Structure 1
Amino acid sequence: MSIRGADRLILFRESERLALGSRSLQRGAANGALHRLRSGAYVPVEVWDALLTDDRRRLETAAMAEMHPAFVASHRSAAALSRLPSVVIDDGLVHARVSVAAGSRTEHGVRKHAVHDTGLHLTVIDGIVTTSVERTVLDLAATEPFFEAVVAMDAALRGGVTKERLLIVLDEWAPNRGRRRIERVIAFADGASGSAGESWSRVQIAEGGLPAPLLQQRFSDRQGFIGEVDFWWPRFNLIGEFDGMKKYREAEILAGRRPGRIVELEKVREDRLRRSGSRPGVDRWIWSTLRVRGALVAQLQAAGLPRSH
């Protein structure tokens, strides 16, 4: 793995070697040619504009690491380095692990998280010292909203981390507070959840008092295997599908096929699902559904799921 844009970083301390003075960097930032990542670190604006949010998080973290050799990434910055998904708005901060003596605080665009065990659960990703994926998702469980923590932990489990390992790391960490909150995330997390959108959907389904679905249920008909569905409620004969629209946009998924052809294939798949077995209903939702409070629960209630009290 490598961090996009890291090879285009311009650091103030290297400006003389690059035949750039401090005033040139300031002028570049003022006239829009350079994007200022933080004091003393810049990148060409065309590089910054081409980056997605997660790439930007990683690049900001890389700039911090270049400027401060003792830097250790944690929390959201560590999650970005570990390629864990996020569904919250970027806070614009670089997150660092520091000692208790240094103290937890936010300054100069850095959120410093003080811990007693500064030397535990560390790894190196893209040349940057960072908390391990296990410790990262536990840190997020302690500090982030429940749905965001579940999104990250589901992805970690999907990538091969086990709950047993998470509990071992939690015992080694032995946080002074928040353990019950962390354990709640571990209990709910499920590596069978196929994407960030599916994880967020699961949280909304549970918090909305709807029945828990089966995940990644396989369906077949006389023609053979149809596919795996995101959510399946056998008691209510309902299939749920989160559609992140990714397959309609990304070239590597399209593999040369037009988006219209993908839509056509999805329609054929859905028709086969509706005709299979007990002829289940199929309900779909997208990102915008998840962003409106209560929208998914209302939609699934309308599709026939009861809401408990």
Structure 2
Amino acid sequence: MADFPLRIRTSADKPYEEAWPRELSRRAKSGELLRIRHGCYVDAQSWGQLEDEQRYRGMLKAMTSTARRPPLFGAETAGVLWGFPRSDLPPDIQVIVPVGSGRKSSNGVRRMTSPAGEVSAEAMGCGLRVTGKIQTAVDLCMIYDFPWAVAVMDRLLNTKPLPAESRKRPVTKADVEDLIALLPSGAKRRKVRRVLDFADGSAMYPGESLSRVYIAELRFPAPELQYRVMDELGLAAVVDFWWKDHALVGEFDGRGKYQKPEYMQGKTVAQVVIDEKNRENRIRATGKNVVRWEWKEATNPQLLLRELTKAGLPRINRRP
């Protein structure tokens, strides 16, 4: 995780200057500084230019810098730090405390014990402590609804490193099952196992995972993921979904490929669009049809139903 870009000012910056805390308070009242947590201030104008996730991470760093003991962030907060998929930012800061600690939630901080029992902790590069990535994924599967839980588990099992990782430590379904077995109730174990059974590490992006869940719920045939389309020139494309019996390719078009540097690879938006068109032409030249959908269809089963039906994909009688 990249460090928080703003300097956080606290009374500890000048511990021997009695007037320093009053100076911080005065500058906050004037609007120059903004207090983001008790005793923690940042430049007000710069804070206003940050995205919501950057502000959330700033709150975590402020909490860490003023805590007597470094907090252990868990659940949805840990999900943000690891970079797992989510529908939105958490409504509060979630920290893991020992069972029977007696520490209560307050001031936007929810103190909770881990549903998985014994807690594994890891240190992020910026000094934040967080629950291990497998435990975080299991905890999220008990919080999120099924589609978003699948998106988390798919991402955990995928071979590409999470945003917080410098290199990937591969995770298998057996690794996850070891932690599921420690959950304290049968209902929790069944809920997470259902997610794990459906999960497929071939899917990495949430739009692909959500689409896959709704494809199953809508009783369409299960697609093959990350299918390699070959033509006379070699590899034409690796596509998101492939239905062999219907010669149909499905592609989820997230906005990332037209906005994020890791997808654009130094190209302009116009170049990316042209490359995508040429790629699709090569796919169609092999005799395959192509259906594309965007985020609004990936998050709305009825819209996805419309697109796949228009593409000629039949539904099956029984639920997969």
Class of the TM-score when normalised by the shorter of the 2 chains: 0.7 to 0.9
Matched, 1:258 2:268: yes
Contiguous gaps of at least 5 residues in structure 1: none
Which residue of structure 2 lines up, in the alignment, with residue 155 of structure 1?
155
2:298 matched residue in structure 1: 290
Report the TM-score when normalising by structure 1: 0.86
| Aligned positions of 1:222-237 closer than 5 A | 222-237=232-247
Contact preservation (8 Å) 1:93, 1:110: yes
The match for 2:313 is: 305
- What does residue 180 of structure 2 align with? 170
Tell me by how many angstroms 1:289 deviates.
2.5
Aligned pair in 2 of structure 1 residues 252, 154: CA closer, same or farther (>3 Å)?
closer
Is the counterpart of residue 141 in structure 1 residue 141 in structure 2? Answer: yes
**Cα distance in 2 for residues equivalent to 1:117 and 1:153:** 16
Q: In structure 2, do the counterparts of structure 1 residues 307 and 105 end up closer, same or farther at CA, with 3 Å as the change threshold?
A: farther
**8 Å contact kept, 1:103–1:114:** no
Supply the AA of the counterpart residue of 1:215. Answer: L
Alignment correspondent of 2:283: 273
Counterpart in the other structure of 2:165: none
8 Å CA contact 1:29–1:36 kept in 2: the answer is: no
| Shift in alpha-carbon separation, 1:174–1:90, aligned structure 2, 3 A | same
More moved, 130-139 vs 161-170 = 161-170
CA distance in structure 2 between the aligned counterparts of 1:104 and 1:164, rounded to whole angstroms: 34
1:189 matched to 2:199? The reply is yes
Seen in structure 2, the aligned counterparts of structure 1 residues 179 and 224 have a Cα distance that, compared at 3 Å, is same
Residues 195-232 of structure 1 show CA distances to partners (whole Å, capped at 9, x for unaligned) of 12211221222222222111000001112111100011
Aligned to 2:253: 243
**Percent identical residues:** 32
- Paired residue for 2:219? 209
| 2:295 partner amino acid | W
Change (3 A) 1:210 1:38: farther
Q: Helix, strand or coil for the counterpart of 1:219?
A: strand
Paired residue total:
304
TM-score, normalising length from structure 2?
Answer: 0.84
Bigger Cα displacement from structure 2, 188-197 vs 95-104: 95-104
Question: Within 2, Cα distance between the matches of 1:248 and 1:266?
Answer: 10
Instruction: Give the AA of the match of 1:230.
Output: D
Task: Please report how far the alpha carbon of residue 96 of structure 1 lies from its aligned counterpart in structure 2 after TM superposition.
Answer: 0.9
